[in-house]
Structure 1
Amino acid sequence: MPRKDIEFKTSDNVILRGWLFTPSSSNGKLPCLVMAHGWSAVKEMDLDTFAEHFVSNLPITCLVYDNRGFGASDTAKDQPRHEIIPSLQMSDYSDAITYAQSLDEVDGTKIGIWGSSYSGGHVLYVGAADKRVKTVLSQMPLINGFENFVRLVRSDFVPGMIQMWEDDRKGRAAGKDPVVIPVVSNDPAGPSALPTPDSYEFFTAWEKKSSWKNEVTLKSVEVMRSNDPSHLIHRLAPTPLLMTVAANDVLTPTDLALEAYSRAREPKQLHIIPGGHFDGYRYRSLSVM
């Protein structure tokens, strides 16, 4: 099906790049699903597969882009690559919507947003705050950064990590380069952003066949701990919500997602799939906008 390269400028003048997928045959303007990946991932890591599935099965277009500082997208002037600031990524979703509304192929009154893992949490906030959004698809979302952090990081490791954050802040203020840590590691005692075996398996497989790099700034982890994208989930309605949750998710724990879903108001739909966090990339969830 047709896919073309696109780029657009964010409200703080960062160029983000991606793809626009359209049906092989279409008449007039179509709804658009705006899609961005999760923690550190790039669009080649199956976002094309998801978009092709959606466009093949629904009369819609899909706008897929790399998050700032990752893949083909730029980052802000004098800011490091591979740094994840959730507030900026959420703002970029809204800028992507604005860009989608400018396209000849898109019906600007029918915009949906899709996110997975970290961005699965982002779309819960964006859908509540940006009422141009007409449907939200949230897959295995990170619901509350603090709760997630205490599940993932051993308590005896926390003081050392807090000291690393303090040292990194002092170093940045003195003009030093930001501290970078691996996204995943096979050393359970070593620092990494996603310290689960299934994370290591998933990302190292993609490292061999994509532009993904196993690094993220230490600040990204510090900021993640205070990120709470679900605090407005009760404000999403009447925008429809489809939440997909893995039954045995240890990276973005299942119970946290289910608790957040219980706070969302109708209309909403819950899709529970078997397996863990990364099994979500083997399934395709559909929603009609």
Structure 2
Amino acid sequence: MREDISFPADDGVTLRGWFYRPDGATGPTPTVVMAHGFSATKEMHLDDFAEVFADAGLSVLVYDNRNLGDSDKPVPGEIDPWQQINDYRAAITWASLRDDVDADRIGIWGSSYSGAHVLVVAAIDRRVKCVVSQVPLISGSENARRLIRSDHFAALRQALDADRVARYQGEKPGMIPVTWEKSPDEQCVLPTADTHDFFFGPIRERAKTWRNEVTLRSVDLFLAYEPGFYLPLISPTPLLLVVAAGDHLTPADIALKAFEQAAEPKKLLLLPGGHFDAYVGDAFKQSSPVQRDWFLTHLT
């Protein structure tokens, strides 16, 4: 059973999403908290994962990040990783206060940008009893240098600095497309062809609230974000890291190298295909049962 829910973040911003309760469940249940990646909304296949987990007897809280989707938008299109980390922790608190949730058996799930966030949350919040991180960002600076041509970096830095001055002087935040729409030559944050194909593909029929723009400040924050630092600090919380072998958006080699830094208990699942293949098709069929069983093993 799925119900629409809303809850306040620590600063009063309202976050909205879904709460899945397993059919036939009685009493408090183990629960998984989920949010999506960079600019993405919950309709972009999070319901597919949540249904797999709920069918196995887990409750699931799925919500849109602030400034995106159905959640409040005090700064539309602003993606602040540390704010989203705090919102994960608020979501855990809200879930733990429900009578039908077992507060001692809460896991977290994230993918891509939120796959980075759950690494941080699992390291700093011991209420988390296990974590699944799918195709995660490991290093904002290293990832950016894979995505952005070196001769474009100076112009990008100038644009970010100019935007900072403009905002300081009271102007509205500058905006930039998430991905290109008509030509790969368009300036955007995520310039890969599979990013374009995902966001402008069939998923748009499901994700009506997605917008192809974020603030320039979101890029500045991305460049300074280093979630891989927290990997050695996650233990003893069990970690499942899911990597797509052909991922060049959050490159597989960076994630595989980072996995070595995590202490036990940990598990690596290597999937075929690229970054967005992890959400659909054979990769989803292979991955979702492993993720489900990870939560069942460590939450039940």
Question: TM-score, structure 2 length as denominator?
Answer: 0.93
Question: Which residue of the partner structure matches residue 192 of structure 2?
Answer: 196
Task: State, as a whole percentage, how many aligned pairs show the same letter.
Answer: 48
The 8 Å contact of residues 14 and 72 in structure 2, kept in 1 or not, is answered as yes
Question: Which residue of the partner structure matches residue 171 of structure 1?
Answer: 166
Q: What is the CA-CA distance between 1:53 and the residue it aligns to? A: 1.1
Equivalent of 2:63, from 62, 65, 82? 65
Matches within 5 A, 1:243-254: 243-254=241-252
String of CA shifts for 1:37-57, please: whole Å, max 9, x gaps: 00000111111111011111x
Question: Which residue of the partner structure matches residue 220 of structure 2?
Answer: 222
Question: Which residue of the partner structure matches residue 126 of structure 2?
Answer: 131
Question: Which residue of the partner structure matches residue 12 of structure 2?
Answer: 13
Q: What is the CA-CA distance between 1:175 and the residue it aligns to? A: 1.7
Equivalent of 2:72, from 62, 71, 74? 74
CA distance in structure 2 between the aligned counterparts of 1:258 and 1:54, rounded to whole angstroms: 26
Question: Which residue of the partner structure matches residue 232 of structure 1?
Answer: 230
CA distance in structure 2 between the aligned counterparts of 1:280 and 1:209, rounded to whole angstroms: 18
**What secondary structure is seen at the aligned counterpart in 2 of 1:201?**
helix
Q: How many residues align?
A: 284
In structure 1, give the amino acid aligned to 2:177. Answer: P
Where structure 1 has 5 or more consecutive residues not aligned to the other structure, the ranges are none
The 8 Å contact of residues 184 and 193 in structure 2, kept in 1 or not, is answered as no
Q: What is the CA-CA distance between 1:190 and the residue it aligns to? A: 2.3
The 8 Å contact of residues 233 and 264 in structure 1, kept in 2 or not, is answered as yes
CA distance in structure 1 between the aligned counterparts of 2:28 and 2:15, rounded to whole angstroms: 23
Matches within 5 A, 1:1-289: 2-56=1-55, 58-76=56-74, 80-185=75-180, 186-205=182-201, 206-210=203-207, 211-282=209-280, 283=284, 284=288, 285-286=291-292, 287=294, 288=296, 289=299
**What secondary structure is seen at the aligned counterpart in 2 of 1:148?**
helix
The 8 Å contact of residues 119 and 141 in structure 1, kept in 2 or not, is answered as yes
Aligned Cα root-mean-square deviation (Å): 1.0
CA distance in structure 2 between the aligned counterparts of 1:49 and 1:188, rounded to whole angstroms: 30
> Structure 1 segments of 4 or more deviating over 3 A?
none
CA distance in structure 2 between the aligned counterparts of 1:8 and 1:165, rounded to whole angstroms: 33
CA distance in structure 1 between the aligned counterparts of 2:31 and 2:49, rounded to whole angstroms: 14
The 8 Å contact of residues 207 and 213 in structure 1, kept in 2 or not, is answered as no
The 8 Å contact of residues 120 and 142 in structure 1, kept in 2 or not, is answered as yes
Q: 1:174 to 1:227 in 2, by over 3 A?
A: same
Q: What is the CA-CA distance between 1:189 and the residue it aligns to? A: 2.8
CA distance in structure 1 between the aligned counterparts of 2:95 and 2:4, rounded to whole angstroms: 13
CA distance in structure 2 between the aligned counterparts of 1:236 and 1:92, rounded to whole angstroms: 19
String of CA shifts for 1:12-64, please: whole Å, max 9, x gaps: 111101110011111211000000000000111111111011111x2210000
CA distance in structure 1 between the aligned counterparts of 2:155 and 2:204, rounded to whole angstroms: 28
